[in-house]
Amino acid sequence: MSDSLLSPAGLFSLAGQVAIVTGATSGIGLASAEAIAAAGARVVLAGLGDADGAAAALQGRGLDVVGVPCDLSDPGAPASLVRTAQQHWGRLDIVFANAGVALGEDVASLQAMFDLHVISVLRLADAALPVMADGGGGLFLVMSSLSGLRGNKAIGGYGITKAANAQLARNIAVQWGPRGIRANALSPGVIATEFATPITGDPDAAHSRLAKTPMGRFGTPAEVAGTVVWLASPAGAFVSGQNIVIDGGTLASD
């Protein structure tokens, strides 16, 4: 059964594919880049942190990745990432637009978050989708958030931008589906990463959130990365236009 499409090796293989992951130097992005590479893909690992160091660590495990320090607030950065994938491996099949930031509630912060979560993702789509479509299609995945599906007391601006980028993913699914592109969004709840320490590191905030989470714990980066591999692989080949919630049941809770 090992060679069957219905075996795990067949269903979840990314062999021969090329991916770009942004925001990939830590947390969910780094875990996803590692999982994609472990499933057989070659990965451009991009981020503001030590992209070269993160890539070197994965290369040390035998994974085929290249690190690219990248500030997506630079309008030219998305096209540069696509060129890097083409120069190294001659194709592009998977894009995970994961870079994100949580800022304040003032107008300037909202603008900065909208620029990163929506405008930079649109620029990345504009650069990547024609290349992906010409190569036969692929997956364009956007990191949204549970905060884009609920009202928020403390991170309302963040939630607004995340609701918008989920809509961008749906639009891409409709516009590019005829050319073999699948587009989806991910909406995690609280995942135990440095990004989430304002919640996980505050006993009162952590207690309040866990009380609203049926599974009674925070998620892990690996649990999100597994969903990324599923969506990029043959197992997810008919999933498009969706916003996948990964939250331990929080959204469904009364």
Catalytic pick among 158, 176, 195, 218: 158
> Which residue's entry shows tokens 């060679």?
3
> Of how many residues is the chain composed?
254
CA distance 106 to 156: 10
- Active site includes 158? yes
Rounded CA-CA distance 82/69 in Å is 14
Phi and psi of 111, rounded to 5°?
-65, -45
Residue ranges of the alpha helices (H) in 67-119?
A: 77-89, 107-114
* Chain centroid, CA 55 distance in Å: 17
Q: What share of the chain is helix, strand, coil (3-state, %, to 5)?
A: 50, 15, 35
Query: Hey, how many other C-beta atoms are within 10 angstroms of the C-beta on 8?
Result: 12
Closest CA to 181 of 167, 169, 190: 169
* H or E segment to which residue 202 belongs: none
Active site residues: 158
